[in-house]
Amino acid sequence: MPPKPSRKRPGTAGRKNKAQAGSKYSIGNGAVNIYGGGGQGAHIPLSAKTVAMEAEVQKLRPRVVLQERERLYDDVMKQRMATNNLRDENTKLRTRLHMTENELTRKDKMIDELLQAQ
Protein backbone atom coordinates (compact mmCIF):
# COMPACT_ATOMS: atom_id res chain seq x y z
CA MET A 1 0.00 0.00 0.00
CA PRO A 2 1.58 3.32 -1.04
CA PRO A 3 1.92 6.05 1.58
CA LYS A 4 -0.64 8.83 1.55
CA PRO A 5 0.59 12.11 0.08
CA SER A 6 0.90 14.73 2.79
CA ARG A 7 -1.04 17.95 2.37
CA LYS A 8 0.01 21.21 3.95
CA ARG A 9 -2.43 23.34 5.87
CA PRO A 10 -2.77 26.90 4.63
CA GLY A 11 -1.01 29.46 6.76
CA THR A 12 -2.65 32.48 8.33
CA ALA A 13 -0.96 34.79 5.86
CA GLY A 14 -3.13 33.33 3.10
CA ARG A 15 -6.29 34.04 5.08
CA LYS A 16 -5.13 37.58 5.84
CA ASN A 17 -4.52 38.19 2.16
CA LYS A 18 -7.98 36.85 1.33
CA ALA A 19 -9.56 39.27 3.79
CA GLN A 20 -7.86 42.16 2.07
CA ALA A 21 -8.56 40.86 -1.42
CA GLY A 22 -12.34 40.66 -1.07
CA SER A 23 -13.10 37.08 -0.04
CA LYS A 24 -15.82 35.92 2.35
CA TYR A 25 -13.91 37.54 5.23
CA SER A 26 -13.98 40.98 3.65
CA ILE A 27 -16.81 43.46 3.93
CA GLY A 28 -15.23 46.27 1.97
CA ASN A 29 -13.52 49.57 2.80
CA GLY A 30 -10.91 47.72 4.88
CA ALA A 31 -13.47 46.48 7.43
CA VAL A 32 -13.37 42.83 8.37
CA ASN A 33 -16.42 41.01 9.68
CA ILE A 34 -15.01 38.71 12.36
CA TYR A 35 -18.43 37.94 13.85
CA GLY A 36 -19.89 36.08 10.87
CA GLY A 37 -23.34 36.92 9.60
CA GLY A 38 -24.47 40.46 9.06
CA GLY A 39 -25.69 41.55 12.47
CA GLN A 40 -25.69 44.99 13.99
CA GLY A 41 -22.27 46.61 13.86
CA ALA A 42 -20.97 44.08 11.38
CA HIS A 43 -19.86 46.77 8.93
CA ILE A 44 -18.00 48.96 11.42
CA PRO A 45 -14.23 48.86 10.89
CA LEU A 46 -12.32 47.17 13.68
CA SER A 47 -10.50 50.37 14.55
CA ALA A 48 -13.83 52.15 15.15
CA LYS A 49 -14.97 49.33 17.44
CA THR A 50 -11.71 49.56 19.35
CA VAL A 51 -12.10 53.33 19.74
CA ALA A 52 -15.69 52.92 20.95
CA MET A 53 -14.64 50.28 23.48
CA GLU A 54 -11.80 52.50 24.71
CA ALA A 55 -14.28 55.36 25.22
CA GLU A 56 -16.48 53.08 27.35
CA VAL A 57 -13.49 52.07 29.46
CA GLN A 58 -12.48 55.70 29.94
CA LYS A 59 -15.95 56.52 31.25
CA LEU A 60 -15.53 53.90 33.97
CA ARG A 61 -11.96 54.86 34.86
CA PRO A 62 -11.64 57.36 37.74
CA ARG A 63 -10.23 60.70 36.65
CA VAL A 64 -8.09 61.31 39.73
CA VAL A 65 -6.40 58.55 41.69
CA LEU A 66 -6.05 59.79 45.24
CA GLN A 67 -3.99 56.85 46.45
CA GLU A 68 -0.47 55.92 45.51
CA ARG A 69 0.12 53.00 43.19
CA GLU A 70 2.06 51.08 45.85
CA ARG A 71 -0.79 51.37 48.33
CA LEU A 72 -3.28 50.24 45.69
CA TYR A 73 -1.02 47.27 44.90
CA ASP A 74 -0.86 46.36 48.58
CA ASP A 75 -4.65 46.59 48.85
CA VAL A 76 -5.05 44.29 45.83
CA MET A 77 -2.63 41.77 47.31
CA LYS A 78 -4.48 41.82 50.65
CA GLN A 79 -7.77 41.23 48.87
CA ARG A 80 -6.28 38.34 46.89
CA MET A 81 -4.93 36.76 50.06
CA ALA A 82 -8.30 37.18 51.79
CA THR A 83 -10.05 35.63 48.78
CA ASN A 84 -7.71 32.64 48.81
CA ASN A 85 -8.18 32.16 52.57
CA LEU A 86 -11.97 32.31 52.24
CA ARG A 87 -11.87 29.86 49.31
CA ASP A 88 -9.79 27.42 51.38
CA GLU A 89 -12.11 27.78 54.36
CA ASN A 90 -15.13 27.24 52.11
CA THR A 91 -13.59 24.05 50.73
CA LYS A 92 -12.88 22.74 54.23
CA LEU A 93 -16.41 23.53 55.40
CA ARG A 94 -17.96 21.84 52.36
CA THR A 95 -15.82 18.77 53.03
CA ARG A 96 -16.87 18.71 56.67
CA LEU A 97 -20.53 19.11 55.66
CA HIS A 98 -20.24 16.22 53.19
CA MET A 99 -18.63 13.97 55.80
CA THR A 100 -21.30 14.89 58.39
CA GLU A 101 -24.09 14.17 55.90
CA ASN A 102 -22.56 10.77 55.14
CA GLU A 103 -22.29 10.00 58.85
CA LEU A 104 -25.92 11.05 59.39
CA THR A 105 -27.05 8.81 56.53
CA ARG A 106 -25.08 5.89 57.95
CA LYS A 107 -26.57 6.39 61.44
CA ASP A 108 -30.10 6.69 60.00
CA LYS A 109 -29.63 3.37 58.21
CA MET A 110 -28.35 1.77 61.42
CA ILE A 111 -31.38 3.06 63.37
CA ASP A 112 -33.75 1.71 60.69
CA GLU A 113 -32.01 -1.69 60.80
CA LEU A 114 -32.27 -1.83 64.60
CA LEU A 115 -35.98 -0.93 64.48
CA GLN A 116 -36.57 -3.62 61.84
CA ALA A 117 -34.74 -6.19 63.95
CA GLN A 118 -37.07 -5.67 66.94
For residue 72, the model assigns a pLDDT of 86
Give dist(CA 41, CA 26) in Å, integer.
14
Are 83 and 67 in contact by the 8 Å Cβ rule? The answer is no
List Cα–Cα distances, 36 to 5, 45, 88, in angstroms.
Answer: 33, 14, 43
For residue 115, the model assigns a pLDDT of 94
Residues in the chain, pLDDT under 50: 19-36
Q: State the DSSP code for 27.
A: E
pTM as predicted: 0.41
Could you tell me the residue ranges of all domains in the chain?
11-61, 64-118
User: Average pLDDT over the chain, rounded to whole?
Assistant: 75
